[in-house]
Structure 1
Amino acid sequence: MVAYRRFACSVAALAASLMTSTAFAQVPVKLGVLADMSGIFSDIGGMGAAEATKMAAEDYEKANPGKLKIEVVSADAQNKPDVSSAIARKWFDSDGVEVLIDLPTSAISLAIAPLVQEKNKVALFTASGSSDLTGKACTPNSVHWTYDTWALSHGTADAITKAGGKSWFFVTADFALGHALERDATAVVTQNGGKVLGGVRHPTDAKDFSSYLLQAQASKAQVIGLTNAGGDTINAIKQAAEFGIVESGQKLAGMLLFISDIHSLGLKTAQGLQLTTAFYWDLNDKTRSFGDRFATRNGGRYPSMNQAGAYSAVMAYLKAVEKAGSAKDGVAVVKAMRDAGTFDDPLFGRTSLREDGRVLHDMMLVQVKKPQESKRAFDYYKVLATIPGDRACRPLKDGNCPMIK
């Protein structure tokens, strides 16, 4: 009789476990890609970020059949914090979305972060750059994956200043990312004995940079720092070439450049530019495999670091959901991501999540190849230096994240 009862209890426990597992697998984990689908940042995120998210979901399901049922939705953020907040709130309140991916501008991310915390969801900041997201605006629900303004500045500005570019003039996009880039780059320049001679700010999606570039020329600064992004950076570099700025002896420093920007500029215009990036598709066999798969699905265009960030962040998030046992508690999922410790990400190498929400991985200082050095489209970078993750990111004690005591 005792043996029978033990057997019956074991069967009941097994049945309950199977029912729980089956029920969990039938609950979809809904991922929301909130990206710039039609504006100046669409090439660096956009539908490519949605495609990278779908690739991560498919790869996870293939490797872990029956564990989670994943659904991906997407929307155009229109680069407006109010529009993005309204979409996110509807997704959270009515549509069952548990996590946001991409978030194309720092202004959007800074607006979304407190909402995500209020709703106890998760934000994977894979396309926004302000280092404030892991500083004064940090939350237990936020993960800053790809890059930030501190890392970019301590890569590009540090290398150029140490190489002799001691006087700077900034052409800055007048929004949160631009302000943060200029602030963090200025700190690096001055720490290295350089001097900022001035700066000018322009609206987002500016078409005519002539007046800004003339002011930069008149400053006689050795380096013109472009603290903007996307279409604005492309337009500024193209018009600088028309003005013969580099030929006249000044140097351009693109503080936030993507491989899609180099593709749009062409190597004849972009050659010699130095920039800091978190990802390059042609770095090793794993990145090349992902890059080729992505290009096949994305009209032949290879992934930007933001699109690679979307893939890797989503993959890490799904593994954490499995570990946490539910996607409903955002804080618990982020904790599970952090508890994973240091792991070998196929696209970013050794990777870990810090207490302030910053993801640590290597960054690379690269130089754009000359046209004759490139063997095919998107073969654009020469890696000059690899910056280890613990040096590429701002020290934890310097961020002023209120969660860190």
Structure 2
Amino acid sequence: METTRRSLLQAGAAAATATATAGLPWRPARAQAAGPIRIGVLTDMAGPYRDINGPVSVACTRLAAQEAARLGLQVEVLVADNQNRPDVALNITRQWYDRDGVDAVVNITSSAAALAVAELSREKNKVMLATSPATSDLTGRACTPNTVHWVYDTYMLANSTGGATVKAGGTSWFFITADYAFGHSLERDTTRFVQANGGKVLGAVRTPFPGTTDFSSFLLQAQASGAKVIGLANAGTDTVNCIKQAAEFGMTRRGIKVASLLMFLPDVHALGLPVAQGLVCTETFYWDLNDRTRAFAQRARALAGQVPISMIQAGEYSATLHYLKAAADLGLAAAKADGAATVARMKAMPCDDDAFGPGRIREDGRKLHPAYLFEVKKPEESRGPFDYYKLLQTTEAEQAFRPLGEGGCPLIRA
């Protein structure tokens, strides 16, 4: 476990970002009376998900904390590496809640860790902002009044990328699945959309996580199945390695489609356009969507450096900023005392920020915003650094995610 230094962000630190938060309410007396609010970034600083989380996620969280200074807030950001292990994530979070006075955790990295931390956050009445985990169970059977699930989930990915791939002729599938909660959930949800659109699943193989770097035997099993589509129910460096190795085997030249069910801009950057061109993926944030996303990316890169920004990292900013708006609106003393009440206030307030634009949080804790289906550009189509995507279709917020009544969330009354 690696814990970095704490960073106390005073109200004056946001002067450079005043324009971005000019419309925020000003409540210095009530907010500062309760002392600093503490947010823990529980992330992957050195493992397979580092590039899509890691230091850039920390920078985006700190950007939100700086901009929230106009709310009269002092925010302390703590950082820890959970090593993508649920037991490590649980131990760190318990220490943060019991010893360090942390009020909310953000990121959490993996679905297995998030399911454990969600229950602990409910028990301790704190706030969990799940921006990196994918499992749709966080707003289904495992939903709690203390959890908000931001950015994306396995249902949305299956709905957008999976559904579009089947409709484009990918009617038979073989899954290469990371063997933990996220991979299982993504395979399950994608199977549903494949079958609903008239396709069929010919098989699947589970790959150990973490630690798998050689996917050749799994890819050869997929090829031998005769499936038209190899569905990658994995993420991060696992996805990058699968795509590279499939290209080395010449699978795409033989007409096999590799469906990257969860791919991020940093993954495309790691692959390079000559390898990644033509791949299709779904994201809920892209830095070059509009003027607001470009403005956010410019501010984020001032802290993080000239790097590609993933939707998870943008989600750190968006979720943290909305949480802090709700805490200021509720009052810091009340927000620090009652995580469930703070989440209820987050649900009651409309969301709006430069990364994701307007949206809302549903009763089951699902943050709603549009989903975008992208195709990776050819090298000659790119105009400059990180100009990697062209937009194929937009799924509006209310249609992108699982219908409220279908998830089995115990918070929803029939």
- TM-score, normalised relative to structure 2: 0.91
Compared with structure 1, are the counterparts of its residues 23 and 242 closer, same or farther at alpha carbon in structure 2 (3 Å cutoff)?
A: closer
1:230 aligns with 2:236: yes
Tell me, yes or no, if structure 1 residue 144 matches structure 2 residue 149: yes
Q: Is 1:258 aligned with 2:264?
A: yes
Shift of 1:324: 1.2
- Give the equivalent residue in structure 2 for 1:295: 301
Q: CA deviation digits over 1:271-310, x for unaligned, max 9?
A: 0000110100011111111112222322310310000000
- 1:402 match: 410
- After the TM superposition, which residues 295-314 of structure 1 pair with which residues of structure 2 at under 5 Å, given as runs? 295-314=301-320
Matches within 5 A, 1:310-349: 310-326=316-332, 327-328=335-336, 329-341=338-350, 343-349=351-357
Residues 49-198 of structure 1 correspond to what in structure 2 (within 5 A)? 49-61=57-69, 63-64=70-71, 67-198=72-203
CA distance in 2, matches of 1:166, 1:24: 58
Confirm or deny: 8 A CA contact 1:197 1:219 kept in the other structure. yes
Q: Does 1:48 align with 2:53?
A: no
Per-residue CA shift, 1:253-276, capped at 9, x if unaligned?
A: 000000000000000000000011
Aligned amino acid, residue 257 of structure 1: M
Aligned to 1:6: none
**8 Å contact from structure 1 (residues 45, 307) kept in 2:** yes
Alignment length, in residue pairs? 383
Aligned residue runs from structure 1 range 8-23, under 5 A? 21=29
State the SS of the aligned residue for 2:253: coil
CA distance in 2, matches of 1:345, 1:143: 16
Question: C-alpha distance in 1, partners of 2:278/2:198?
Answer: 24
Alignment check: 8 A CA contact 2:31 2:331 kept: no
SS of residue paired to 2:344? helix
Q: What's the secondary structure of 1:247's corresponding residue?
A: helix
Distance 1:23 1:267 in 2: 47
1:318-367 deviation digits (Å, cap 9, x = unpaired): 000011113321011101111113x4332112210001000010010000
Letter in 2 for 1:344: D
Please, which of 391, 397, 400 is the counterpart of residue 392 of structure 1?
Answer: 400
The answer to which of 31-40 and 200-209 deviates more is 200-209
**1:377 is matched with which residue: 370, 385, 390?**
385
Equivalent residue runs for 1:20-39 within 5 Å: 21=29, 24-25=32-33, 27-39=35-47
Secondary structure at 2:411 match in 1: coil
C-alpha displacement of 1:26: 5.4
Superposed displacement of residue 375, structure 1:
1.2
The aligned counterpart of 2:16 is none
Does the Cα contact within 8 Å between 1:272 and 1:369 map onto a contact in 2? yes
Distance 1:200 1:167 in 2: 15
User: Matches of 1:294 and 1:268 in 2, distance apart?
Assistant: 27
- Aligned residues of 2:374 and 2:391 also touching (Cα < 8 A): yes
**Distance in 2 between residues matched to 1:404 and 1:60, nearest whole Å:** 32
Gaps of 5+ in 1: 1-19
Q: Quick one: distance in 2 between partners of 1:22 and 1:194?
A: 57
Contact kept, 8 Å, 2:38 with 2:104, in 1: the verdict is: yes
Find the aligned partners of 1:40 and 1:222 in 2 and give their Cα distance: 28
Please say which of residues 260-269 and 347-356 is displaced more in the overlay. Answer: 347-356
TM-score with structure 1 length normalisation?
0.93
Equivalent residue of 1:390, what SS? helix
Query: Would the aligned equivalents of 1:26 and 1:68 in 2 still touch at CA under 8 Å?
Result: no
Runs of 4+ in 1 over 4 A off after TM superposition: none
Distance 1:372 1:68, change over 3 A: same
- Alignment-mate amino acid for residue 198 of structure 2: G
Where structure 2 has 5 or more consecutive residues not aligned to the other structure, the ranges are 1-27
Which entry has the higher C-alpha Rg, 1 or 2? 1
1:22: Cα distance to partner? 5.9
How far off its partner does 1:23 sit? 7.5
